[in-house]
Structure 1
Amino acid sequence: MGGHVLSPNEGQVIYVAVGTDLEKQKLNLLWVLKSFPGASIVLLHVHVPSKWIPLLGTKIFASMASTEVVRKQRKDEKEKMKELMLSYINFCEQRKAQVRALVTIRNVALDGLQQLIKKHQIKRLVLSSRSMAKQEALLSCCQIILVNNGRHISTCGASFSSSKADPNQDEAQDQYVSALSHVWDSDECLQFDTPPNEQGDEIVKEREGDAPVAHGESGSSMKDYMHPEALRQQLDSREEEVKELRRMLRRAEEDAKLALERMASLEQEMEGLREENSEAMRENLALKTQQHCAEFSPAELRRATNNWHTSHKIGGGGYGTVYRGVLRHTPVAIKTLNPESKQGPAEFRQEVLILSKMRHSNIVILYGVCSESSALIYEYLPRGNLDERLSCKNKMPPLSASDRLRIIGEQHSAVVFLHSHEPHAIVHSDLKPQNILLDANDVSRLGDFGTARLILRAGSSEEEVCRKTNPMGTMGYMDPMFLTDGMLTPQSDVYSFGVVVLRLLTGQPALGIRERVEEGMRNGGVRQLLDASAGQWPEQAEKLVQLASRCCSMERSSRPSLLAEEWRILDTLRAMAVNRLNSKKV
């Protein structure tokens, strides 16, 4: 039968099932084009989503990954699948063939083919898979032409006929050919029989033991429809998968045992190193800070705070407690480190090293340290933090629109200054209103650099400007990509800055603010998003909402640079706000 060539027919529609191996399928497509000259080709492809999701150098089940990670993986898979199908279409079109492709998304390829055959009433199908060509579920409903490596192997299954057995069949086929011709006249060569957003993200979460049920069919009718051989193959596949998972579990248990033993040994070593290096670290820190800022004694701090009296306490959190006081005739804020805090000596030292050699009008000033008491001494800013002002704590009046726009400009300047630092850029990694402090005139200062990191700047010998580290920051403000891959970049600060800007403009809480703002913009109500309690907003504020929303894009590459020309709008707004501030002082 290998040399048999079917008669060409200009009105025919030939369905060809294709897989992911383009090179292997090219010979089979050439056979189809030669055997059916003038026929219209419809490529069928069943996209099977991967059950495994790559994450941080390993793979996990899709059901164990976060919704955002799974959605990103499915998006990447679909893009690759679209590229593959367009390559198939290209190959056929270069040979003057009319072609289009239908794609469905299923967990099992056989189920997908059954769905396409039934929905489109396919009576003849070209296959290259020998095992698939033996499936009774396919043979019972259409003719299967098996072609492998460009050779016709066999033709079997339900007989293909356009004869008188069904007088409506020719009419239905003619109508479908007309419909296909209409599609080919347009640019839509690739179509999804299952819309990508309908099943693509959820389909792999079906229970392992469940056989997918075709639309409109009950479970019992589906079991009757599937041949025992197909069910047996599915069972064999599941058993093999279970065996592999058991092997992986055994390997994981062995690795975990070794890791626990190694961890116990390392913890003993680390405890000894902590004890040996604790004093050396304090001495080293004191030496470094003496070069850049003042060293205060514990006795001075006690006198400044009336022996740490509660009346001097002005704030606190997981890192420790903040007191106000007067040191050497200067009002100061003193932050003491809580021994139980996540911010240990390393973060303490990081903040000292960064702030002690940095001066910017909108970054808090570090006056000095007390190494013995693990305390940091800053300038005193009487208006508290920006979060308290936005929530009108202690019945303070709402910040005006001009003050908010000025603060946005000030913090934009501060973050650009950090990212432009030589020779390493400084990424704050915890931008939020609680870390933005206000002086008596509501001029803002960025503080809390305990989680800041130095990274290589663009143009260095390294290929990427980023730093691998454990995710840190505050939910609602933290870059979701940083949370996913642990790569800290200046774009992580851009995301957080965008959330801060949206909070200042809208007055809304951080969690979910990007989604609410984007929904408002889609509905054409940008001005309605602006916080009415701030008073009259200039027209430019609407453009700032859109710019801040882009800063909060999920993909780093979609976020605008803080040096982009679009931010020039802040210069105008800031100048207007500064003039108003100066007029208040007069």
Structure 2
Amino acid sequence: MKLLRPALEAGLLDALPSLPSINLEARPPTDLVHVAVGTSPEKTQRLLEWTFRRFRCREVVLIHVHRLSQTIPTLLGNLPANQANEQLVSAHRMVEWGNTKKMLLRYLDICYRSQVQPKIILVKAEHVQSGIVNVVNKYCIQKLVMGASPVYCLRAKPGSSKAIYTLKNVPSFCEIWFVKKGRLVWMREANEINFASTVSWTETLPGERKLERPEVRNLSHFNNPKESAFLIDSISQTASGVNLDNSTLSPISSSSTYFRDAKRSPSHTNSQEQLEALSGRLIGIIDEAKTAKEAASADLSKCMELKFASAKAFNMVKAFEAARLREIKFREELEALLVATKLQKDELINQKNKIVEELEGALSNVVILDDHYHQVVHLKDEVASELDKVLSSTANLELENQKIQHQKDEYARQIARLRCNNHVTSKICNKFIGFGNDSLDFKEFPLSDLHAATFGFSDTFKIGQGGHGCVYKGEMSNGSVAIKKFHHHSVQGQQEFQHEAFVLSKMRHPHLVTLIGACPEALSLVYEYLPNGTLHDRLIRKSMTPPLDWKARTRMIVELSGALLFLHSSKPEKIIHGDLKPLNIFLDSNFHCKVGGFGFCELVPEMVASGFRLLRQNSGPKSSFAEFPYSDPDPEYQRTNILTSKSDVYSFGIIVLQLLTGRPPLGLSTEVRRAVLSSRLSTVLDRNAGEWPKDVVGKLAEFGLKCTNMNSCKRPELTPTVVKELEQLYTMQERPIPSSFLCPILQEIMYDPEVAADGFTYEGKAIQEWIASGGETSPMTNLRLENLNLTPNHALRLAIQDWLSQPLQS
């Protein structure tokens, strides 16, 4: 293998010491396949593989144009080569030639692997395309393979690509193959004879030369006038170099298509004549060539015009495509801007809703504060009005206090005598209570039975403890019982014993604790044993007891309302519990409520004026559970010290709110009222109760807030109607509601059914709001109503009332 290096600078051989060189005077055969290779062997490998498959050649010539970089990299950046010092330029050139050497060795390796003998033409040029054209012209290359874009002939601008430049400037005798990614894109065939390779001089005799003229084809097929001119110039130069004295040319007819060998004649005159004839014919051929050249020039002009027209059309298409792409990009930007605007709009709406919610909360707080202010003003007026009464009755109260103190001393002396004698009878207890010699309806147990049931009141059997006594679990012949033992040394405990013994001996109700008997000697009461403890224990989940679900809590509210209605409706005296709280509400084995703790109750005769107390408490009720205080006494009772039935209603309302929320009572009504006003009731509900029905929880919360009103006059009375409405809340959830009882608009049970013109029955308020809002079509059929008249459906109302009045099923 030999390396062809025309027009290289002197340092190139030193940069490629491992490559053998070739005599620069030698030329590669022009019929060999020449391949123009670039600086990337990876991209050019497919071009070489295509050449080896296409020509099945054993020898190939590689053409590489080396471009010297115009800038030199330094620590301060790139500098132009003409401004850098010679040492930097020389060092950088050595690096460039080293990279070129590595690249050429890789090309050689590719050829060797394909069993092809390579030769290399390495030239230096400022532009790659001009270097390729110079090599083709210098070495008269007839077969050239080079890479090109698949659509270079349509899309590239004139002179903007290497392939276009090469196609326009390479002589037409060179056949060119354009290949892209291992596939032939286009091929330009040769349409001119290479005289440099076909015309040669051979010596025949000493001092004589023979002109072997090549076959000259018809000149009319040349499209390029320059090519015709090149052919004519070549013939002229060849003819001018002939020694006419030593050679003769045979006459050539006008129709001859080639030059024949000239015959030698001994006569000098004949040779001169033949030469003149030949010159005349040569002039004719030149004229014909000029004519053909002019025709070719005209054809070329037309071709160039068509080419420029097609280029202009392509540029217009390209401009339209660019405009379309810009429009698509602009549309995408607009869509992105629209999406961002929508997101910003949604964010602003969310901020607006949040601000509105905060404003509503602030307005609700203002309403609450205003309500409190009016209440304070009202209380101030009441206090001012009653202050005069208090001042006027101070003397009477002092006299009454003296009488009470006298009675208290007398009771204390009597109790002391009883303790000394250790004999207490039921009649004496009745006398203590103040009801004469009325007999009590309970069984009296001797002290020995209680000792036997509790093993001498052992702490092992103690299940509870209060401020005035302890509760023990005992075992008697009838089963388990609860024994409440009051302290002998506590006057308050003695009064609780008397109150509970009297009230529970006279009263029987499914939701009041059952008094089995009493032991006056031990100041002890015997109750039925309730295994599930108190409501207080269940709400705080003492000992990890399971929580109560919402159905059980609703049922308990109904049961408590029935028990309070029974106490407040008793005759001849109305019973006011006075200490209603979760600690005094007991649960049996089926989790039904039983109200106890009647030690602070009061009996109010039906004909006695409101506020007069027949039995008076010495001190108010106290809670013994500091960690979870389930007592929130009536504020009005704390202010006036007068116990009424509305005090029980207040305590019942607190219990209702506790069952809904599972929270302590202090400040509970204010918290629930704030949640209702801000439509956030679900945030304060007890999640352990499960999913509350919205209609049930809404009505129970409203009822609880009414019961806990600061003004007792605004609290509801516990009447049979109120209790029945509470029962309906529970029964509606326990049994399915007939679909005919539900309003099609509200999907709730109807209390005022009315028939519209479409024949359907709706809740009166709902259909009236529908019509008032401009609805002239049927809510069910979406058809226009014939009229807007409404007719009450009395039959359906009676059926709904009968269904609601059915008794509560346990």
- Mean Cα deviation higher: 291-300 or 434-443: 291-300
Deviation of 1:330 after TM superposition, in Å, equals: 2.0
- Aligned: 1:555 with 2:704: no
Structure 1 residue aligned with 2:69: none
Structure 2 residue aligned with 1:315: 464
Q: 1:207-249, CA deviations, whole angstroms, 9 ceiling, x for partnerless residues?
A: xxxxxxxxxxxxxxxxxxxxxxxxxxxxxxxxxxxxxxxxx9x
**SS, match of residue 654 in structure 2:** helix
Q: 1:505, 1:485 → 2: CA distance?
A: 30
**SS, match of residue 463 in structure 2:** strand
Structure 1 residue aligned with 2:96: none
Contact 1:383 1:439 in 2 (8 A): yes
Contact 2:567 2:574 in 1 (8 A): yes
Deviation of 1:347 after TM superposition, in Å, equals: 2.2
Task: State the structure with more CA Rg.
Answer: 2
Structure 2 residue aligned with 1:499: 654
* CA pair 274-370 structure 1, distance change in 2 beyond 3 A: closer
Deviation of 1:395 after TM superposition, in Å, equals: 0.7
**Match for 1:568: what amino acid?**
K
Q: 1:296, 1:77 → 2: CA distance?
A: 50
Q: 1:387, 1:352 → 2: CA distance?
A: 24
Query: Where does 1:201-350 land on structure 2 (aligned, <5 Å)?
Result: 271-276=412-417, 282-285=425-428, 291-341=440-490, 343-350=492-499
Q: 1:501-521, CA deviations, whole angstroms, 9 ceiling, x for partnerless residues?
A: 110111110111111111111
Q: 2:561, 2:633 → 1: CA distance?
A: 17
Query: Where does 1:99-498 land on structure 2 (aligned, <5 Å)?
Result: 271-276=412-417, 282-285=425-428, 291-341=440-490, 343-457=492-606, 460=607, 462-464=608-610, 466-467=612-613, 469-470=616-617, 472-474=620-622, 476-498=631-653
Q: 1:29-60, CA deviations, whole angstroms, 9 ceiling, x for partnerless residues?
A: xxxxxxxxxxxxxxxxxxxxxxxxxxxxxxxx
Contact 2:535 2:587 in 1 (8 A): yes
**SS, match of residue 487 in structure 1:** coil
Structure 2 residue aligned with 1:85: none
* CA pair 290-306 structure 1, distance change in 2 beyond 3 A: farther
Q: 2:459, 2:466 → 1: CA distance?
A: 15
User: Which structure exhibits the higher relative contact order, with contacts defined as CA atoms closer than 8 Å and separated by 6 or more residues?
Assistant: 1
The one of 678, 692, 713 equivalent to 1:523 is 678
Contact 2:424 2:521 in 1 (8 A): no
**Match for 1:464: what amino acid?**
S
The one of 691, 699, 722 equivalent to 1:543 is 699
- Paired positions, count: 341
**Match for 1:304: what amino acid?**
A
Instruction: Work out the percentage of aligned pairs sharing the same amino acid.
Output: 34
Q: 1:408, 1:332 → 2: CA distance?
A: 26
* CA pair 364-293 structure 1, distance change in 2 beyond 3 A: same
**Match for 1:499: what amino acid?**
I
Deviation of 1:450 after TM superposition, in Å, equals: 0.9
Contact 1:406 1:577 in 2 (8 A): no
Q: 2:479, 2:635 → 1: CA distance?
A: 41
Q: 1:284, 1:425 → 2: CA distance?
A: 23
* CA pair 481-78 structure 1, distance change in 2 beyond 3 A: closer
Contact 2:426 2:440 in 1 (8 A): no
Q: 2:405, 2:720 → 1: CA distance?
A: 50
**SS, match of residue 363 in structure 1:** coil
Deviation of 1:522 after TM superposition, in Å, equals: 1.7
Deviation of 1:456 after TM superposition, in Å, equals: 2.2
Deviation of 1:306 after TM superposition, in Å, equals: 2.1
Structure 2 residue aligned with 1:569: 725
Q: 2:611, 2:384 → 1: CA distance?
A: 29
Q: 1:153-176, CA deviations, whole angstroms, 9 ceiling, x for partnerless residues?
A: xxxxxxxxxxxxxxxxxxxxxxxx
Deviation of 1:266 after TM superposition, in Å, equals: 8.2
Q: 1:435, 1:523 → 2: CA distance?
A: 33
Contact 2:443 2:518 in 1 (8 A): yes
Deviation of 1:533 after TM superposition, in Å, equals: 1.1
* CA pair 511-265 structure 1, distance change in 2 beyond 3 A: closer
Q: 1:435, 1:395 → 2: CA distance?
A: 20
Q: TM-score, normalised by structure 1?
A: 0.52
Runs of at least 5 residues in structure 2 that lack an aligned partner in the other structure:
1-372, 386-390, 431-436, 624-630, 737-808
* CA pair 345-578 structure 1, distance change in 2 beyond 3 A: farther
Contact 2:535 2:583 in 1 (8 A): yes
Q: 1:470-499, CA deviations, whole angstroms, 9 ceiling, x for partnerless residues?
A: 562347431111111121111110011110
**SS, match of residue 503 in structure 1:** helix
* CA pair 370-259 structure 1, distance change in 2 beyond 3 A: closer
Runs of at least 5 residues in structure 1 that lack an aligned partner in the other structure:
1-66, 80-247
Deviation of 1:435 after TM superposition, in Å, equals: 0.3
**Match for 1:544: what amino acid?**
L
Q: 1:111-140, CA deviations, whole angstroms, 9 ceiling, x for partnerless residues?
A: xxxxxxxxxxxxxxxxxxxxxxxxxxxxxx
Q: 2:383, 2:481 → 1: CA distance?
A: 56
Query: Where does 1:13-52 land on structure 2 (aligned, <5 Å)?
Result: none
Q: 1:295-351, CA deviations, whole angstroms, 9 ceiling, x for partnerless residues?
A: 111111111112222221111111211111112232100010123445332321111
Q: 1:566, 1:267 → 2: CA distance?
A: 41
Deviation of 1:449 after TM superposition, in Å, equals: 0.7
Contact 1:313 1:322 in 2 (8 A): yes
Structure 1 residue aligned with 2:346: none
**Match for 1:542: what amino acid?**
G
Q: 2:588, 2:406 → 1: CA distance?
A: 50
Contact 1:382 1:439 in 2 (8 A): yes
**SS, match of residue 478 in structure 1:** coil
* CA pair 536-78 structure 1, distance change in 2 beyond 3 A: same
**SS, match of residue 402 in structure 1:** helix
Deviation of 1:579 after TM superposition, in Å, equals: 7.5
Contact 1:318 1:342 in 2 (8 A): no
**SS, match of residue 505 in structure 1:** helix
* CA pair 577-551 structure 1, distance change in 2 beyond 3 A: same
Q: 1:565, 1:259 → 2: CA distance?
A: 41
Contact 1:285 1:371 in 2 (8 A): no
Deviation of 1:565 after TM superposition, in Å, equals: 3.7
Deviation of 1:443 after TM superposition, in Å, equals: 0.9
**SS, match of residue 481 in structure 2:** strand
Deviation of 1:291 after TM superposition, in Å, equals: 4.5
* CA pair 452-259 structure 1, distance change in 2 beyond 3 A: closer
